[in-house]
Each structure stands twice: as structure tokens, then as C-alpha cells.
Amino acid sequence: MTGPFSQTTAEFTSQTGRRLHSGEIDVIRWIVIVATLFVSTCDALAQEFPTKTVRLVVPLPPGGPTDYVARLYAAKMTEMWGQPVVVENRPGASGNIGTQLVAKAPADGHTLLLQSTSFIVNPMLFKTPGYNPFTDFVPISLIFDYKLIVVVHPSFAVNSVAELVAAAKAKPGAISYASAGGGGAPTHLSVEMFKRIAGIDVLHIPYQGGSPAIADLLAGVVQFMFNNPAQSLPHIKAGKLRALATTGAKRMPQLPDLPTVSELGYPGYDVGTWFGLWAPAGTLPSVVAKINAAVKQIAAKPDVQQLHFEQGLVVIGSSAGEFDAFQRSEAERWSTVVRDAKIEAQ
């Protein structure tokens, strides 16, 4: 007999040097055959994917940067795969409702989650979030991120971060700020972190989404916000909001003359919001790899990069492994802030 299984019994030895008898050799042969068939089946499934409509769940209301990017990627994936990719907004419970939906979906790659930093923060805030970010999901790619802009209503008589801090210290708890996505959202945690290093006390007013938060800021209901650039930049240019600083380690290319909070006496302050793509746990690695490849291909397109730049977003498109390591480091980072500030879901 010739071929991959033509070795004689004498040619098979265990790790201890003991020769294997024929029964053990048969078991090894069947393991190899089954493993080969499994790999072949997985490859076939990955090649066929998607076989039907793909649902891209966004656990937030329409109108924010998450929804914007989701629709952009859905359109591109539809073109690439020849199957519809539809965005499904499922807001509620600070994103938990939509996230739970994906956690319970079939692990075939046809239901995906596009969520923000809140994905790993919410389990720190809710006693029963309804999902575990590290056991109920597999990471696919870190898609994009952005830094925040410290913006104030024109009627609020502060023109710098130093004046904002002075005003807050003069009237502890009297100055209010908005956050989008509820308590514990990135726009909330970023201010909590700043409160700690600046030694101030300001009043938190949480909103379920970016649109109602920015609406009340524009109306002067709240005085300031650490907000996303997509919603802030048009109003800054129109003179409806005043920008004091950005929250990254480097200045924002869209606002090169605007200093960072770090530059203004708070070194090391570098916060923002990131967004990633996940699939239910158990999704085949080959399917995850195919979706990841699509994300990277889309992220490299010049028109996608330009559209992100106009919105103040930074395109990433990481590997699944890189994303997994990143989300775990972020979980460790924000757990400290949540614990020290005693933040709970609101």
C-alpha cells in the first residue's frame, strides 16, 4: 500500500519512543481523516458565505457615527458579496438590547454587531447586561475610532479649558454636561476621567443617543459636552458651538489650531471612542477571516478614508487578533475608572 497511510507499524512511535500497535495506528488515521474533512468543510462554508441576507445590528438610534459607518460598510459589503447587508438599529438599555440579540443569533456570520467602547464597559455597569463580551462573541476587526472635542454653548462664558475648570470649581455641581448613550458611555467616562485629574465637580445629564444630546447642547439646556467630531464639526464651523480642546494625544487634523487637553496642563490625557465588529461565539474562524478581509479591503478604499476624514473619524481595519488584545486592554483601563468613580447604569 502506498500513500500517506502506507507506513508500517514499526515506523509509528509514540513520544516516549514506544512503537504503536495497529489499533492505535487506525485511531490516528481516522483522526487525520476527520480533521482533514473538517478543514475542507470549513473552507467550503467560508467560500459560500454569505448565502443569505446579512444583518448588521447597531444597538443605537439612527443618526450617530456608528449608524453612519454601519451603512457605509453595509453598502460596500453588499457590492463585494452579492448578498444584501442590511443595517438594523436596535437601541435600548445603553446598547444591551441589540448586543443581546446578536449574542443569541446563529453563529453562521449572517448576524453581526457594530458597537462602540460601550460593548466592553456595559458589563461593568449593569448587574445583568445579558452578555459576556469575551465568551459570547468573537472579535472580527477594530473598524474606526475618533477623539472627542470639548464643546460649549456660546452662552456659556468660558473660552478655554482653564476657564471651564475655574467655573466648575467656583460652582461645584452647578455646571451641566451631556453624554450620548447613557451612563457609562465614552462621552460620560471621558468627562469622569477629566473630573478626577482636574479636581472638579460637574453635573452629568445622560442621553440615549447623540442626536438628542447635541440638540439640548445647541439649545443651551446643558453647558458643555465632550462630543464626537462628526456631530460637532458642522456646528463649530457655523458658530453654534465653541470648541475648547480635543481629547487625543495629538491635535485633530481637521482642527489643527485647536490644542489638546493634554497640552493644556493635563499630560497623558488621551481618550476617545472606538468601534468594532463582532460575530456570535462559535462562528467559524474561516468565516471570521472572510469578513475581516472584507473590512480591511473596504477600509483601504480612498473614498472610504476621505468620508471618514470629513466626519473626523480615523479608519483602522485591524486583524481579529489585534482587536481581541486591544479590547481586553481597554476593559482593564476603563474598569479602573468605573470602579473609582462608582459609576452605575442610569
Residue 324 lies in domain: 50-145+275-341
User: Is the residue at 102 inside a domain?
Assistant: yes
Domain identity same for 307 and 231: no
**Residue 36, C-alpha cell as written in the block:** 482533514
**Residue 8, C-alpha cell as written in the block:** 508500517
Dist CA 12 CA 21 (whole Å): 8
Single out the residue in 246, 264, 286 at which a domain terminates: 246
pLDDT in tens, the chain (346 residues): 444 434 444 444 555 555 656 665 665 566 555 444 444 444 554 579 999 999 999 998 887 778 889 999 999 999 999 999 999 999 888 889 999 999 999 999 999 999 999 999 999 999 999 999 999 999 999 999 999 999 999 999 999 999 999 999 999 999 999 998 777 888 999 999 999 999 999 999 998 778 899 999 999 999 999 999 989 999 999 999 999 999 999 999 999 999 999 999 999 999 999 999 999 999 999 999 999 999 999 999 999 999 999 888 999 999 999 999 999 999 998 998 898 888 887 6
Dist CA 302 CA 288 (whole Å): 24
Model's pTM, two decimal places?
Answer: 0.79
**Residue 301, C-alpha cell as written in the block:** 478604499
Single out the residue in 203, 229, 246 at which a domain terminates: 246
Domain identity same for 35 and 54: no
User: Is the residue at 79 inside a domain?
Assistant: yes
Domain identity same for 43 and 57: no
Domain identity same for 57 and 40: no
Whole-number pLDDT of residue 12: 44
Domain identity same for 86 and 141: yes
Domain identity same for 31 and 169: no
User: Is the residue at 42 inside a domain?
Assistant: yes
Domain identity same for 141 and 279: yes
Domain identity same for 170 and 220: yes
Domain identity same for 128 and 159: no
Q: What's the total number of domains in the chain?
A: 3
User: Is the residue at 292 inside a domain?
Assistant: yes
Domain identity same for 21 and 98: no
Whole-number pLDDT of residue 202: 97
CATH number of the domain enclosing 233: 3.40.190.10
User: Is the residue at 1 inside a domain?
Assistant: no
* Residue ranges of E strands in the chain: 54-58, 85-89, 111-116, 137-147, 149-152, 176-180, 203-207, 224-227, 242-246, 272-280, 314-315
Domain identity same for 179 and 327: no
CATH number of the domain enclosing 334: 3.40.190.150
**Nearest by Cα to 313 from 113, 56, 69:** 69
User: Is the residue at 252 inside a domain?
Assistant: no
Q: Which residues of 55-70 are buried (b: 16+ CB within 10 A; e: fewer)?
A: bbbbbbbebbbbbbbb
Domain identity same for 42 and 54: no
User: Is the residue at 199 inside a domain?
Assistant: yes
**Nearest by Cα to 109 from 328, 300, 277:** 277
User: Is the residue at 329 inside a domain?
Assistant: yes
